[in-house]
Amino acid sequence: MGKRIRAQRKGSSPRYRVSSHRFPGANRMPREADVVGEVTELVHSPVHTAPLARMKLPDGDTTLVVATEGISIGSKVAIGDNVSLRPGNITSLSEIPEGTAINNVELRPGDGGKVARSAGNSCIVEAKLGDKVRIRMPSGSLKELPGGCRATIGVLAGHGRDEMPLRTAGAAHYKAKARGKLFPHVSGVAMNPVDHPHGGGNHQAVHGPNSVARGTPPGAKVGLIAPSRTGRGRGKRV
């Protein structure tokens, strides 16, 4: 009789649970208009690659936003449509000139920011197309977004954080633990048949089909789950 595989254990064991009590909060772009907030604290969050800035608004409320390069404790952050092009200020895409670096970009007005939120990332405003704005994503692709979407001026802080090597196994362990990942990660083909459906054999390979149906029982639901297609692409289909 086989053992419970890793995918089954993740549903019940606290070992795979993220320590959410260590997270200071979520990154939420404020939607106030024509106000000026003040950065009161720069916060380290284990789950974010970039530091967070705790910002105090004029009404006394506080919010956490990802910190942009160039801001510090005591910096003023302008929010609204009539703001200067200073790092950290938040405004609509339609108000940002072409060629400006931006981060924490909304895909729909009011969604709080979805793009360019990791350390050192940024988008570039390419062109204004009526009520749409074309931006260049961190991947290099172009995307047209509504002009009412908001973004933060500047490049996100924390650039180069992922360039430092993980010098010890302990560093990799704590990096994975902060995000609820398991370290070290062992592939299924390296296991014994009792531990994983892909285990066993005289060499490490998946012996048999590795595509499974959507309703496959948990003990066998590994590999390609309900794939739309498999195999190498043969060019454009007609």
| Of 186, 197, 185, 204, nearest in space to 223 by CA | 197
Lowest mean pLDDT among 10-24, 96-110, 135-149: 10-24
What is the C-alpha to C-alpha distance for residues 11 and 123, in angstroms, rounded to an integer? 37
Asked whether the predicted pLDDT for residue 237 surpasses 70, the reply is no
pLDDT of res. 1: 60
pLDDT of res. 205: 95
Asked whether the predicted pLDDT for residue 26 surpasses 90, the reply is no
What is the C-alpha to C-alpha distance for residues 206 and 187, in angstroms, rounded to an integer? 11
- What the chain holds in terms of domains, given with CATH numbers, is 21-161 (2.30.30.30), 163-225 (4.10.950.10)
What is the C-alpha to C-alpha distance for residues 99 and 159, in angstroms, rounded to an integer? 20
pLDDT of res. 22: 74
pLDDT of res. 235: 63
What percentage of the chain has pLDDT greater than the value 70?
97
pLDDT of res. 200: 94
What is the C-alpha to C-alpha distance for residues 7 and 90, in angstroms, rounded to an integer? 42
The pTM score is: 0.75
